[in-house]
């Protein structure tokens, strides 16, 4: 976390540079074949994106610092990329798998992601990042376990379940993409899925008296969700790699792109119970259920699935504020999380980002600080590396909102300096909940409130035990503020996790730059990097 990279001895980097391997941590190899196949998540046949024949895709299990090598064979008739939500890709935005960092894997070709899960623990997910592929599946869970000798602030659970939850459309991803391309907004989703299954499509079997970990990620496209388990309390222990104060909740909100872990003890009479997921802040509430089954179950518990909050915003805001860092618990390293005093470091720059929904040339677009992102003809990271002019320009998105001017299209890249310590304020003047994610980073959520942010809002910041994560919600007509040390050089996607908004331009790239131009700060271009656009035919580096 934080400045951790500067604590690593320099000889480590020399070793990396000289040998070309990623330290002495274990390697985990995966070979994935991406295909189209039929899926029936809501009872009607749909075209899904399968990984090795599966929807959702296989889970990645790893331990802090493991080298994770994923060779992806694209058997779709179109370009494809996978990105890794929450995996920080230290010094290596080359592996991030978004269209600003990587050339797409052409049909019939493969690309091997060579990643190290450096200094990370926690629950994350991967997803297909191009076109509107995410609406067809192709996502899966990632869990990064602590190294054996590092204390975890709860006893080992009897089992560890992954719940990928998300809203779902019966229309296929091409049809949804067509709607967006023609300048219209998506329709309301048709349902909610748990692990690719509809109503009671999943059963989680538990032993009475035991405690289980449930890792949950909102992999959906447009809706915040609430999750609850009939008759059972959920003890929150982790969000996106941070160990939290272990508060118990009867239901939890999970916004787009967010992940967390709860512990659930099977301490009720031996029956079947509902796990319920429903949409939040929507006028019509969609919900679905799974089953929590005691192994000695005497049958279905009486009563309907428990209801949850629907449009209440204050309830959600208060819950968000109750999620705090456990300062004495260890994170990925043996030292306590609280030994990094994020609130005592002076920020060196303030960036204010306002979302908006302008019409541009008669089409619905989404923007941040009035700029609606359009991709360059060459991935920005690749163009930057080969110094290809005219793909993007630095400073093509302002540091502050511009009001009243509508919006414009731009391949927007914000320049930033390695080792700056930035305050970013997400300002939401719209009446819908937003969710923002920053690749390559984890940041502290120091404040969140209704109304307009001003310098005086800083007085309310939590500078002591705010939680560090990589995705933050912004409530309607509200703001959320984060502190983020720019300790990871690269080209990083800053995006709305609402997939229609991101697709229609609510994203940009943050180019964190070190003038040292050293392998200590950033890994060299991978030898297997695919080259495309105006970089076609260039060479990566000699073997």
Ligand X SMILES: *[C@@H]1O[C@H](CO)[C@@H](O)[C@H](O)[C@H]1NC(C)=O
Which is nearer to ligand X, 33 or 514 (by Cβ)?
A: 33
Residue selected from 175, 311, 415, 516 as contacting ligand X according to rule CB under 6 A: 175
Q: Is 343 in the site for ligand X (CB under 6 A)?
A: no
Tell me the closest approach of the beta carbon of residue 367 to ligand X, in angstroms. Answer: 28
- Whether residue 523 contacts residue 469, with contact meaning beta carbons closer than 8 Å, is answered with no
Check binding of 347 to ligand X (CB under 6 A): no
For the CB of residue 527, give the shortest distance to ligand X in the complex, in Å: 9
- Alpha helices per DSSP H over 361-475: 380-385
Total residues interacting with ligand X, rule: CB under 6 A: 21
The reply to whether 110 sits near ligand X by the rule CB under 6 A is yes
329 near ligand X, judged by CB under 6 A: yes
Give the integer Cα–Cα distance in Å for 255 and 253: 6
Is position 35 an interface residue for ligand X (rule: CB under 6 A)? yes
Smallest CA-to-CA distance from 241 within 447, 439, 1, 26 is with 1
Token reading at 450:
């209704």
Q: In what order do the strands lie in the sheet with 122-128?
A: 60-63, 140-145, 122-128, 82-85
Residue-wise burial string across 375-385, b where 16 or more C-beta atoms lie within 10 A, e elsewhere: bbebbbbbbbb
Q: What is the rounded CA–CA span in Å between residue 292 and residue 522?
A: 46
Which two structure tokens, joined as six digits, stand for 72? 């992806």
Residue with tokens 């009671």: 200
For residue 454, give the nearest of 432, 427, 430 by alpha carbon.
Answer: 427
Query: C-alpha distances in angstroms, 148 versus 9, 22, 63, 333?
Result: 22, 20, 9, 11
153 contacts ligand X (rule: CB under 6 A): yes
174 lies in the site for ligand X, by CB under 6 A: yes
Instruction: Give the residue, chosen from 8, 15, 28, 47, that forms a contact with ligand X under the rule CB under 6 A.
Output: 47
Of 221-229, 326-334, 376-384, 407-415, which segment contacts ligand X by CB under 6 A?
A: 326-334
CB of 305 to ligand X, least distance (A): 29
Query: In this complex, which beta carbon is closest to ligand X, that of residue 162 or of residue 244?
Result: 244
With respect to ligand X, which residue has the nearer C-beta, 1 or 329? 329
By CB atoms closer than 10 A (0-12, 13-18, 19+), residue 464 is middle
Q: In whole angstroms, how close is the CB of 477 to ligand X at the nearest point? A: 32
Spatial strand order of the sheet with 272-279 comes to 203-206, 287-294, 272-279, 225-229, 252-254
- Measured from the CB atom, is 518 or 536 closer to ligand X? 536
Does 204 contact ligand X by CB under 6 A? no
Residue among 174 and 310 whose Cβ is closer to ligand X = 174
> Tokens 């950033």 — which residue?
522
Residue 384: DSSP 8-state: H
Q: How far is the CB of 245 from ligand X (least distance, A)?
A: 4
Residue 348, interface with ligand X (CB under 6 A)? no
Q: Note whether 75 binds ligand X by CB under 6 A.
A: yes
Tokens matching residue 320 = 């968000």
Q: For ligand X, which is the closer residue by CB, 324 or 363?
A: 324
Cβ burial of 77 (10 Å; 0-12, 13-18, 19+) is: exposed
393 and 356 in contact (C-beta within 8 Å)?
Answer: no
Q: Which two tokens stand for residue 114?
A: 């060579």
**Subset of 509-538 contacting ligand X (CB under 6 A):** 528
Of 296 and 346, nearer to ligand X (C-beta) is 346
Return the residue of 4, 28, 33, 309 that touches ligand X, per CB under 6 A. 33
206-245 footprint of ligand X as x/- string (CB under 6 A) = ---------------------------------------x
Rule CB under 6 A: say whether 112 interacts with ligand X.
yes
Our finding on whether 326 is near ligand X (CB under 6 A) is: yes
Part in contact with ligand X (CB under 6 A); list of ranges 70-78, 126-134, 282-290, 424-432? 70-78
Q: Out of 6, 328, 452, 518, point to the residue binding ligand X (CB under 6 A).
A: 328
The beta strands (E) that lie in 195-333 are given as 203-206, 211-218, 225-229, 234-239, 242-243, 248-249, 252-254, 259-265, 272-279, 287-294
Chosen residue from 200, 208, 210, 246 binding ligand X by CB under 6 A: 246
Q: Which residue number, 173 or 495, has a Cβ lying nearer to ligand X?
A: 173
346 binds ligand X (CB under 6 A): yes
**Interface positions with ligand X (CB under 6 A):** 33, 35, 47, 71, 73, 75, 110-112, 153, 172, 174-175, 245-246, 326, 328-329, 344, 346, 528
């Amino acid at each position: 976390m934080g400045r951790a990279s500067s604590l690593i001895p320099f000889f480590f980097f020399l070793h990396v540079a000289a040998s070309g391997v990623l330290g002495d941590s274990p390697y985990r190899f995966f070979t994935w074949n991406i295909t189209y196949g039929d899926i029936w998540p809501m009872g009607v046949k749909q075209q899904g994106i399968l990984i090795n024949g599966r929807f959702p895709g296989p889970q990645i299990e790893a331990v802090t610092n493991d080298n994770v090598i994923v060779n992806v064979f694209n058997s779709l008739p179109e370009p494809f990329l996978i990105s890794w939500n929450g995996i920080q890709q230290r010094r290596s935005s080359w592996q991030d798998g978004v269209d600003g960092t990587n050339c797409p894997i052409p049909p019939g070709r493969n690309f091997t992601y060579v990643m190290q899960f450096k200094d990370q623990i926690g629950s994350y997910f991967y997803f297909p990042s191009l076109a509107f592929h995410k609406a067809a599946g192709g996502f899966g869970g990632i869990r990064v376990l602590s190294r054996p000798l590092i204390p975890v602030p709860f006893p080992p659970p009897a089992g560890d379940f992954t719940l990928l939850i998300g809203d779902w459309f019966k229309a296929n991803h091409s049809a949804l993409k067509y709607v967006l391309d023609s300048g219209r907004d998506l329709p309301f989703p048709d349902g909610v899925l748990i692990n690719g299954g509809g109503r009671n499509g999943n059963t989680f079997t538990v032993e009475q008296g035991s405690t289980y970990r449930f890792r949950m990620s909102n992999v959906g496209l447009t809706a915040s969700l609430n999750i609850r388990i009939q008759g059972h309390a959920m003890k929150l222990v982790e969000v996106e790699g941070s160990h939290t104060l272990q508060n118990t909740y009867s239901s939890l909100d999970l916004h787009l792109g967010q992940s967390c872990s709860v512990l659930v003890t099977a301490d009720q009479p031996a029956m079947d119970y509902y796990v319920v997921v429903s949409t939040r802040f929507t006028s019509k509430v969609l919900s679905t259920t799974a089953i929590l089954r005691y192994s000695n179950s005497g049958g279905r518990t009486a009563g309907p699935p428990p209801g949850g909050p629907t449009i209440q915003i204050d309830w959600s805001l208060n819950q968000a504020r109750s999620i705090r860092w456990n300062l004495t618990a260890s994170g990925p390293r043996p030292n306590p999380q609280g030994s990094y005093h994020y609130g005592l470091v002076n920020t060196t720059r303030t960036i204010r980002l306002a979302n908006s929904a302008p019409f541009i040339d008669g089409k619905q677009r989404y923007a941040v600080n009035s700029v609606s992102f359009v991709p360059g003809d060459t991935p920005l990271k690749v163009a930057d590396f080969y110094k290809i002019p005219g793909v993007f320009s630095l400073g093509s998105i302002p540091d502050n909102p511009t009001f009243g001017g509508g919006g414009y299209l731009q391949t927007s890249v914000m320049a930033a300096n390695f080792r700056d310590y930035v305050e970013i304020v997400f300002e939401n003047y719209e009446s819908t909940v937003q969710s923002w994610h920053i690749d390559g980073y984890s940041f502290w959520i120091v404040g969140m409130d209704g109304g307009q942010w001003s310098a005086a809002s800083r007085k309310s910041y939590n500078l002591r035990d705010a939680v560090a994560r990589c995705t933050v919600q912004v409530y309607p007509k509200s703001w959320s503020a984060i502190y983020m040390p720019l300790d990871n050089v690269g080209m990083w996607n800053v995006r709305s996790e609402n997939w229609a908004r991101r697709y229609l331009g609510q994203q940009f790239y943050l180019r964190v730059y070190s003038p040292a131009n050293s392998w200590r700060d950033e890994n060299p271009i991978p030898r297997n990097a695919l080259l495309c656009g105006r970089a076609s035919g260039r060479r990566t580096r000699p073997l």
